[in-house]
Amino acid sequence: MDGSDPLTPVVSDLMERRPVPGMIKVIRFIIRPLLMVLTKRDWQGMENLPRTGGFVLAPNHISHLDPILISHFMLDNNIAPRFLGKDTLFDTPVIGWIVTKAEQIPVYRSTDGAAESLRAAAAAIESGQVITVYPEGTITRDPGAWPMSARTGAVRLALMTDTPLIPMMQFGAQEILWPYTKLPKFLPRKTIRIRIGPPIDLSDLRGKELTEDLLHEASDRLMDTITQMMVDLRGERPATPRIDIHTLGRSRTNYKESSNHEGDA
């Protein structure tokens, strides 16, 4: 799929038609035509998306534009985008109202609220919805835009719901809006490259107690896969060791109940 795509979304007839919230339909109506003009697309691996039922979609995080560009991909593949997002976003004027109406799920990282977020996400998955979780939990700090290490939320969700964990590698959004910058550069048109891999093999870990060691093993498998997918795309390997997200400091949160945490979302 490339920049010559028609404005009408092309989705597989085999893909289950999942309901899309009204707010997302409004956003799609406004944003999709612009993206079709301003970006080119190189999307591959859609055959690896489960046709029915809920699952966890796990993309690397390279730009503040990721939710918009990933949602474009998801909607064109008949998947309603539903993300686990930082809770502070939900308290932002206007944006907070929009993401709430779009049925996104706030995540209160490193607090008791993290477990509440995961339970809400698990219920959605078990009802047949697709939940997108950035394994890194934040935009990469790697100077080459390579994936960092992962928090455990994505793999925990897949294991606790016994559903597929689907890796997504995306590259190109950072050429429009580099991490932690504010001015996007849409022209000349950039190509948004997305690769969907087969489900991460967690068969030897399913049904076991979700210890920290087990969750970190599963998370390493996920990030190793996404990194290799990026290596295959870019034709080069990272020049430096993978950044450990746990060295980046505590996440800001508006969660009020407790400063303790249950689970690393």
pLDDT mean over 84-99? 90
**Which of 16-20, 63-67, 111-115 tops mean pLDDT?**
63-67
Phi-psi region of 78 (alpha: psi -120 to 50; beta: other; left: phi over 0): left
The answer to whether residue 238 is domain-embedded is no
Distant-in-sequence, close-in-space partners of 155: CB < 8 Å, separation ≥ 6: 135, 165, 200, 202, 215, 218, 219, 222
Q: How confident is the model at residue 194 (pLDDT cuts 50, 70, 90)?
A: very high
Alpha-carbon gap, residue 181 to 183, rounded angstroms: 6
The answer to whether residue 16 is domain-embedded is no
Q: Is 147 exposed, middle or buried (0-12, 13-18, 19+ CB in 10 A)?
A: buried
Distant-in-sequence, close-in-space partners of 47: CB < 8 Å, separation ≥ 6: none
Is residue 255 scored above 60 in pLDDT?
no
Task: Give the tens place of pLDDT for each residue, 104-127.
Answer: 999 876 556 577 889 999 999 999
Cα torsion angle, 87, 89, 92, 98, sign: negative
Give the CATH number of the domain where residue 78 resides: 3.40.1130.10
Residues, the chain, total? 265
Looking at per-residue pLDDT, the higher value among 250 and 169 belongs to: 169
Look at residue 14 in the predicted model and tell me its pLDDT: 61
The answer to whether residue 214 is domain-embedded is yes
Which tokens belong to 136? 């890194």
Is residue 1 scored above 80 in pLDDT?
no
Closest CA to 225 of 47, 50, 45: 45
Which tokens belong to 250? 């505590």
Is residue 133 scored above 70 in pLDDT?
yes
Provide the residue range defining the domain that includes 52: 26-179+187-233
Look at residue 264 in the predicted model and tell me its pLDDT: 66
The answer to whether residue 51 is domain-embedded is yes
The answer to whether residue 241 is domain-embedded is no
> Total domain count for the chain?
1
Q: Is 75 exposed, middle or buried (0-12, 13-18, 19+ CB in 10 A)?
A: buried
The answer to whether residue 8 is domain-embedded is no
Look at residue 4 in the predicted model and tell me its pLDDT: 41
Look at residue 142 in the predicted model and tell me its pLDDT: 97
Q: Decide if 67 contacts 192 (C-beta within 8 A).
A: no
Is residue 18 scored above 90 in pLDDT?
no
Q: Coil, helix or strand for 44?
A: strand
Alpha-carbon gap, residue 259 to 171, rounded angstroms: 35
Looking at per-residue pLDDT, the higher value among 221 and 10 belongs to: 221
The answer to whether residue 37 is domain-embedded is yes
